[in-house]
Copies of this chain bind each other. A is one copy, B any other.
Amino acid sequence: MRTEICDRLGIDVPIFAFTHCRDVAAAVSNAGGLGVLGAVGFTAEQLEVELQWLDDHVQGVYGVDLVIPSKYEGKGVEGLSPEELEAQLAKLVPQEHRDFAEKILNDHGVPHLPPEEHHNQLLGWTATTVAPQIEVILKHPKAKLVANALGTPPDDVIKQIQDSGRLIGALCGSVKHALNHKNAGLDFVVMQGTEGGGHCGEIASIVLWPQVIDAIGDMPALAAGGIGNGRQIAAALAMGAAGAWTGSLWLTVEEANVPPAQMQTYIDATSLDTVRSRSWTGKPCRMLKNDWTEAWERPDTPNPLGMPLQMMVALDGVKRGHRYPEQAKDVNFNPVGQVVGMMNKMERSADVVQRLIAEYLEACERLNKLNNA
């Protein structure tokens, strides 16, 4: 299954694992794929610690995923520090929204954070707040790949990353986005179908992938959205993808820092239990349906704000859910794709990589048999 992008990165198999957990990223990279650490939510100082740890624990290379949205509230405001921008944005958040979020959490008995853990800082999520993260990445030579989760990164970021010898790409949910990425000179795209976890578009993978592949020609296109099994990787590579970008899959591995109560929620969920909701980040994002997502859907409740304002409303909920997963089980932020229905037990990350390869080979063998019968 080795494709050209494997050679460019020096990895064995084109299995990319997006994760917020450094242990998972390291395990996947060391198993022959590429672990990609989600940087959103880390301060520059925290990210430095994470990447230093990865440098020490990864034999080859790894990647980092940023969130620089193409469109967001406050974009174009120049010359502000991250703190100043955040203070300005905070003024745009109606009190009604803050009160409603607080009520949902309180009604479910989710405790408040202890005062010493209480800092509602907006990290990543805007071009201003992401800049310090990029400075950190550039200090780590094993951080060989950078991906942007929401839209084409600004030109200066692309140049900075590429001049340093790294690859930079971005996620896309439509042919138009993919062409924007190509025209901006990115090195690869990640084509994510609507079934994928986290931010996603409306077009399903089986329809999106071949259209993007045809539209962007030689540029490597990684398939994302719905992949939890090597058979799906075979499907993607048969259609011309350069590799598989996976995310949900790594929420139920042994190495994941997902609290047991939350992991059980993922293991129990079926493919019918997800919803595309704006209730956490302000942009459509796939997650498990629960009392939080349904509360923001009702006709008599506030409509979610845009990004990053809704994130500023919901961030306290994310943190309280992470701190008190048992109490928050019906209102937690559980971003995951429809493939959650195939995630039915906890596995070791390295075993997942081996399983994906074995299932891929079985699928190829199935086709060969059919064609030679």
Contact = CB atoms under 8 A, between A and B. Distances in A.
Interface of A: 1-3, 174-175, 193-195, 201-208, 210-211, 225-229, 231-232, 234-240, 270-272, 299, 337-339, 341-342, 361, 363-364, 366-368, 370-371, 373
Contacts of A270: 175
Given A1-B370, A2-B370, A339 B234 contact: no
B226 A234 contact: no
Q: Please give me the 8 A-B residue pairs with the lowest Cβ-Cβ distance, nearest first.
A: A235-B235, A195-B204, A206-B226, A204-B204, A238-B363, A207-B338, A234-B238, A231-B239
Contact of A206 (B205, B272, B371): B205
A50 to B, nearest CB: 31
Contacts of A271: 174-175, 203, 207-208, 211
B203 A338 contact: yes
Contacts of A174: 271-272
Given A231-B210, A272-B202, A371 B1 contact: yes
Given A201-B272, A208-B271, 20 more contacts: A2-B373, A175-B271, A194-B204, A195-B206, A195-B207, A202-B272, A203-B338, A203-B341, A205-B206, A206-B227, A207-B337, A207-B338, A207-B339, A210-B232, A211-B271, A231-B238, A232-B239, A238-B367, A239-B363, A361-B371
B203 A229 contact: no
A235 B226 contact: no
A235 B238 CA distance: 6
B238 A366 contact: yes
Contacts of A240: 231, 363, 366
A207 B238 CA distance: 16
B232 A206 contact: yes
A211 B341 contact: yes
Contacts of A361: 371
Nearest to A213: B231
Given A210-B229, A211-B271, A299-B299, A234 B204 contact: no
A204 B239 CA distance: 17
Contacts of A208: 271
A370 B208 CA distance: 22
A239 B203 CA distance: 20
Nearest to A227: B206
Nearest to A205: B206
A351 B143 CA distance: 49
Given A234-B238, A239-B363, A206 B203 contact: no
Contact of A364 (B201, B338, B339, B367): B367
A206 B208 CA distance: 11
A11 B272 CA distance: 35
Contacts of A204: 193-195, 204-206, 225-226, 338
26 contacts: A3-B370, A174-B272, A175-B270, A195-B206, A201-B272, A202-B272, A203-B338, A203-B341, A204-B204, A204-B205, A204-B226, A205-B205, A205-B206, A206-B206, A206-B226, A207-B341, A210-B231, A210-B342, A231-B238, A234-B239, A234-B367, A235-B235, A238-B238, A239-B363, A240-B363, A299-B299
A108 B62 CA distance: 57
